[in-house]
Structures are given as C-alpha cells and as structure tokens.
Chain A
Amino acid sequence: MSRKNLIGLLPIAAVLLIPLLTQNPYLLHMFILSLLWIVLGQSWNLLGGYTGQISYGHAAFFGVGAYTTGIMVKSGQSPSTAWWGLLFGGLMAALVAAFIGWVCFRLRGSYFSLSVLALSEVLRLVAVNWNRLTNGAEGILFIPAFTQKTYYYYIVFALAAVNLGVIRWVMRSKPGYYFLAIREDQDCAESLGIDTTKYKLLSLLISAFFTGAAGAFYMNYMGFIDPGIVFSIADISIMMILVTMLGGAATKWGPAVGAILFILVSEIFRVWVGSGHLLFFGVLIIAIIIYFPNGIVGTLVDRRTRKRRLRGAEAVA
C-alpha cells in the first residue's frame, strides 16, 4: 500500500476511535447522523455527481428501505430481524429503483429529475394510504434493539465505509469511466458503443441500494418512521442534493465534508432559530450555486487541476 493511501486511512482511523474518546450520547448522536448523511450524500453523488443524472426523488429509496425494515419487524417477532433490513431494505430499494429507472431513463435532464420526483411522491401516497401494510400516516414504531449508541455508531460507520469502498471501486473500474462519459455527453457515449441506459441503471441501482440501506439503518436507530419523514422531498431528497453540492459533486470527499457541515449547521440553527431552520439551507443552496458552484472540496482543493483542465479545453476549442 502506498504512502498516499496510508495518509488517506488516517482520518478513517480517527473516526473509528471516536466512541472510545466520548460516550456523550448527544455527541455520538451527531456523529451517527453525520455518518448516515455521508452514506446518503455519497449515494446521491454516484448517480448525480458522477453519472450526471440529477434525482429529485431519492427519498423514494430511503423510504422504501426504512419501510421494508419496519414491516419486517412488525410481521416478525424480535427486533433483531430489523438488522436484516440493512440488506433487504437495500435490495427492495434497488428493486423499486429498477422500476423507476425503467420508466424514467426514457427521459433526460430535467424531465428525468421531475419524473423521479413524481414517482417518489406516488410512493409516499401509497405509504400513507396502504394502511394494512404500512400502518398509514400513523407510521411504524418499535423499540430499538440497543440502548447504547456505540453499537449504532460502528454499524453506520461500517455502512459508510462499505459504501465509500464500493463507489471508489466502481469509479476505478470500467463502468465508472462509462458513468463519467455519460455525464459529459450522453450521445457521444452512445455513439462510442456504451449502452447508456444499462449503465445509468447500474449507477441508479447501486445508489438506491445504499440509500435504502441508510433508510433501514434510520428505522433501526430512530425506532419510528412515518411517510412524512422518510418520503420527504424537502428533508431527504433536497437535502441529499444539498449535502453533495455543499461538499462538491463528483469529488471523493465532497459528500463527507458536506454531510458533516450539514449536520453541524442544522444543529446550530435548530437550537437557535427553532421553526423555519430550513430557511438557512435555502440561503445556503443559493449561496453555493452563486459563489461555489462546484462545492467546497470541488472549488478549493481542486482549483489548480480544474484551471489546468479548463486551459486545456480552451486550447482545444
């Protein structure tokens, strides 16, 4: 392993040690939420950032993952079945994604984005109205398996690490290059012999699987979900975009930086402002788009390479 990789592992090792340093439930809660949002940001980033398919409806997969877990617990006996939700919730989300992709990938650009949004809203309405399966608007409640937050910390850490690993691995292998090609110019990619629908679908499936697994973790951790929480456009779908954009779309560490900042800022504003704390996120989205269109990591760290690339592009043009 090269030295560069070892340095990259240092922050991961540091994150691994956090529960040994503090047992403060509030702090651990913040770290757990940050890691959960890292998973969500990274998953959205694979489809939106690397493959260029902006989804306004990722809450669909989050909700399906959470509900799969909740329904498993409700129909099973012990809450330990809930942990299987991480797998089955992800798989269910991928299954739903296969259908959504089959429908929506006939469309491009904003039409794709809006059709995903529409289907995610349909799923929310199904969750509200299909009382026998989902318990309707009342939601699903169960007692979480552990009282210790440390366990949850390591579980969500493992999820984030696997997620990061899988996405890195995919992006370094052939499909990853196809994803980038599709983002840059879909027609060009098609004419070079890339089955664009197939690879867009692959990207969506991986993204949806991890989003669903994150939803399953949320169900396990919080012990309560209702359609308004897990299928929320404003609180899940839009925030996944914000987290990715804040850190930097199509960057390795962007979603992680974005997620940590997002949790930090939302806590500060939840405490200070109370109602209407989303106001700040609206301002933040606008400010990022105007001043840091490529996010923090994308703009600051990568500035030099980007300039070089731009100069190269000008020389070609």
Chain B
Amino acid sequence: MSPQVAGQLELLGQVLISGILLGGLYSLIGLGMSLIMGVMKIINLAHGELMMVAMYITFWAFTLAKIDPYVSLLIVFPLMFLLGVSVQKFLLTPVMEADTVLPQNQVLLTVGLGLVLSNLALLFFTANYRSVPVSYASKTIYWDLKLGGQTISLSFSYPFLVAFCIAGVLGASLFIFLAKTDTGRMIRATAQDKRAAALMGINTKRITYITFGLGAALVGAAGALLDPVYYLYPQIGGPFTSKAFVITILGGLGDIPGAVLGGLVLGLAESLGSVYISLGYKDAFGFIIFVLVLIFMPRGLLGRGRA
C-alpha cells in the first residue's frame, strides 16, 4: 500500500471515528425528543434550549464549586427532570384541550418557551461565549494500526470518548427502564394508545409529566457531556433543536432505537460532509437528509415510526 492511500485511509478512519463519537451525543439528544414525541405527539421546539440550561448548570457547578462535568450529571439529571415535569404540568397540559383556529398550539408554546429560556440566559449570563476548562479537554488516546506495511494512526478525543460511553450507558438504562419497569411499560402503553391506556387505569397525565421530565433530563445529560468539548452561549439551543428534530425524523417518530440510529447517521453525515464536501455547509447536510427522508421514507430509516 502506498503512503498516499494510507494517508487517505487514515483521514477516512478519523472522520468516521469523530462522526460516530459525535453521533453518540446526538443520539442522546434525539432519545429525549423521540420519547416526548412518542407519548405527547408533539415536537418539542425548546429541546435545544433545555440543553442550554443544563450546559449552564454544569458550567456554574464547575466554575463556582469545581464540580467535574461528569460528576455534575448527578445534579443536572434530577434538576432537568424537575424542570421538564413543571413545563409539562404547568404549561403544556393546560393548553392541550383549548379550542383554537390554529393547530399545533403546544408546539408553538414550546417555541415561546425556547425564546424565554434563551433570553433569560442572555439577560443573566450575557452573550459571552464560555467554556468549561477541564484539564483533560484536549487529551487524546492514540491507536496505531498496522495495515499492508503502513502504520495508520487514529486518535480518539478523551472527553468525546467518555461522553460516548456515558451516553451509551444512559441509552441502555432507558431501554431497560422502558422494557422492564412498570412505569416504563405505562409510558409505552400511553405512547401506543392514550385512551386505551387511560381505560386500563393508567394515570396518563402523570405519565406525560414523567415523559417530559425524562426527555428534558436526557437532553440535559447530553448538555453536561457536551460542556467539556464545546463552548456555550445563550443562543446555542436553536441549532441543537434543529438537530434533535432531524434525528427524530430520521429514526422514525417515537421510535426509540431509531433515534439512536438517527443520531449516529447525523453525526456521520456532518463529519463526512464537512471533510469531503464543504465545511461551510456542515449544518445543511442534516437538513437535506432530513427532507429526503421525510419524502422518501416518511416512517424513518428503520421504517417503524408513525408516518
């Protein structure tokens, strides 16, 4: 193998690795959104803003109390759960049955909520870009591969790798929770048929609170994991809301395993696209795939979601 080919392979391998690692975080963001979409049948357009809130919690925990971002997950997860429960209980549930000309009232409400959250952050924390300067931010692990006489050296960013693993653990716990526990079964039943679930004695209102809480907690965890590798500012939510709905549609609406796949696909598409096509259009690839999937595979990549 010539050194040129080896160099190309090295680049490709590196791009795939960073795509998959990023995709793991995207999956976590998508899981929360997909869960909410499955049960409430609404698109949460404040999803990215919820993540922004979690990122600021992590940031302040680190700055004020020197709490490591990965440890602060223990604070972020319950706090975001409570925030999610309150949003569903005090904002979304009351407008569910209002009589209106415009459809999608709840979705528009989440738009308003997103504006409130990002502008509160702007007011209190200013528009400055901030970061969490952890000691391991640029730590990398190298992996040398011998291939046809050439050495291909691949690098893994340590914080991305940790984030990927924690995301995997959280995702797996969610599957076990949904599959094995009573509450998990109730959530799945409510997602399948809300009225039937109510007739079976499930308190569907309580289930919607828990679902939104879980969705917020999951995206909050993604925010905490993103902090060591990304910067944060009040308007960071918007692009991530877009990513979240792209992931959810890619996976098929309400399809939980699909959301994981959707996240990985988006991560790979962005990383491949920005290296091989154009860096400037990095964010456009997700949208283009999104529209193509909506048109040609409206039930998601796995073909199991609701069309």
Q: Which of B79-95 contact A (CB under 8 A)?
A: 91, 94-95
A-side contacts of B290, CB under 8 Å? 115, 118
**The one of A54, A121, A249, A276 that contacts B284, using a Cβ cutoff of 8 Å:** A121
- The docked-state distance in angstroms from the alpha carbon of A179 to that of B104 is 18
Residue B122 lies at the interface, judged by CB distance under 8 Å to chain A: yes
**The one of B109, B127, B249 that contacts A114, using a Cβ cutoff of 8 Å:** B249
- Contact in complex: A245, B280 (CB < 8 Å): no
- Contact in complex: B102, A249 (CB < 8 Å): yes
Residue A90 lies at the interface, judged by CB distance under 8 Å to chain B: no
Residue B164 lies at the interface, judged by CB distance under 8 Å to chain A: no
Residue A238 lies at the interface, judged by CB distance under 8 Å to chain B: yes
The 3 closest A-B pairs by CB, nearest first: A282-B115, A285-B112, A282-B116
Interface hit among B174-182, B254-262, B291-299: B291-299
6 example contacts (A-B, Cβ-Cβ < 8 A) are as follows A56-B111, A106-B294, A122-B284, A122-B288, A238-B115, A293-B100
**The one of B112, B123, B246 that contacts A283, using a Cβ cutoff of 8 Å:** B112
- Contact in complex: B108, A241 (CB < 8 Å): yes
- Contact in complex: A118, B102 (CB < 8 Å): no
Give chain B's interface residues, CB within 8 Å of chain A. Answer: 42-43, 91, 94-95, 98-105, 107-109, 111-120, 122-123, 126-127, 238, 242, 245-246, 249, 278, 280-281, 283-284, 287-288, 290-291, 294-295, 298
Q: Which of A122-154 contact B (CB under 8 A)?
A: 122, 125-126, 128-129
- Contact in complex: B100, A54 (CB < 8 Å): no
**The one of A109, A117, A249, A276 that contacts B242, using a Cβ cutoff of 8 Å:** A117
From residue A37, how far is it (CB to closest CB) to chain B in Å? 17
Do A289 and B116 contact each other (CB < 8 Å), given the known contacts A107-B298, A111-B294? no
**The one of A119, A122, A285, A294 that contacts B109, using a Cβ cutoff of 8 Å:** A285
- The docked-state distance in angstroms from the alpha carbon of A276 to that of B118 is 8
- Contact in complex: B115, A285 (CB < 8 Å): yes
Residue A233 lies at the interface, judged by CB distance under 8 Å to chain B: yes
B-side contacts of A96, CB under 8 Å? none
- Contact in complex: B104, A298 (CB < 8 Å): no
- The docked-state distance in angstroms from the alpha carbon of A250 to that of B246 is 30
Known pairs A114-B43, A250-B102; list 6 more (Cβ under 8 Å).
A114-B245, A234-B238, A277-B119, A279-B123, A290-B91, A293-B99
Report the nearest A residue to B45, measured CB to CB: A56
- The docked-state distance in angstroms from the alpha carbon of A105 to that of B296 is 13
- Contact in complex: B291, A283 (CB < 8 Å): no
Report the nearest B residue to A248, measured CB to CB: B101
Do A118 and B119 contact each other (CB < 8 Å), given the known contacts A52-B103, A110-B107? no
B-side contacts of A118, CB under 8 Å? 242, 246, 287, 290-291
Residue A75 lies at the interface, judged by CB distance under 8 Å to chain B: no
B-side contacts of A284, CB under 8 Å? 112
B-side contacts of A52, CB under 8 Å? 102-103
- Contact in complex: B115, A115 (CB < 8 Å): no
Do A278 and B112 contact each other (CB < 8 Å), given the known contacts A125-B280, A289-B105, A293-B100? no
Do A107 and B294 contact each other (CB < 8 Å), given the known contacts A119-B287, A282-B119? yes
From residue B17, how far is it (CB to closest CB) to chain A in Å? 25
Residue A49 lies at the interface, judged by CB distance under 8 Å to chain B: yes
A-side contacts of B288, CB under 8 Å? 122
Do A275 and B112 contact each other (CB < 8 Å), given the known contacts A289-B105, A293-B98? no
B-side contacts of A285, CB under 8 Å? 108-109, 111-112, 115
Residue A81 lies at the interface, judged by CB distance under 8 Å to chain B: no
Residue A27 lies at the interface, judged by CB distance under 8 Å to chain B: no
Do A234 and B242 contact each other (CB < 8 Å), given the known contacts A118-B290, A293-B100? no
Residue A103 lies at the interface, judged by CB distance under 8 Å to chain B: yes
- The docked-state distance in angstroms from the alpha carbon of A56 to that of B287 is 14
From residue A128, how far is it (CB to closest CB) to chain B in Å? 7
- The docked-state distance in angstroms from the alpha carbon of A110 to that of B107 is 8
- Contact in complex: A275, B284 (CB < 8 Å): no
Residue A281 lies at the interface, judged by CB distance under 8 Å to chain B: yes
Do A250 and B101 contact each other (CB < 8 Å), given the known contacts A103-B295, A276-B122, A279-B123? yes
Do A54 and B103 contact each other (CB < 8 Å), given the known contacts A279-B120, A282-B113, A282-B119? yes
Task: Count chain B CB atoms within 10 A of each CB in A119, A122, A238, A250 and give the residue with the most.
Answer: A122
B-side contacts of A125, CB under 8 Å? 280-281, 283-284
- Contact in complex: B102, A245 (CB < 8 Å): yes
Residue A310 lies at the interface, judged by CB distance under 8 Å to chain B: yes
Do A293 and B114 contact each other (CB < 8 Å), given the known contacts A111-B294, A129-B281, A250-B101? no
- The docked-state distance in angstroms from the alpha carbon of A310 to that of B101 is 12
- Contact in complex: B242, A238 (CB < 8 Å): no
A-side contacts of B242, CB under 8 Å? 117-118, 121
Residue A113 lies at the interface, judged by CB distance under 8 Å to chain B: yes
From residue A157, how far is it (CB to closest CB) to chain B in Å? 28
- The docked-state distance in angstroms from the alpha carbon of A233 to that of B112 is 13
- The docked-state distance in angstroms from the alpha carbon of A293 to that of B283 is 34
From residue A42, how far is it (CB to closest CB) to chain B in Å? 15
Do A119 and B291 contact each other (CB < 8 Å), given the known contacts A54-B103, A113-B107, A283-B112? yes
- Contact in complex: B238, A283 (CB < 8 Å): no
A-side contacts of B108, CB under 8 Å? 54, 241, 245, 285, 289
- The docked-state distance in angstroms from the alpha carbon of A294 to that of B100 is 6
From residue B130, how far is it (CB to closest CB) to chain A in Å? 16
A-side contacts of B120, CB under 8 Å? 276, 279
B-side contacts of A106, CB under 8 Å? 294-295
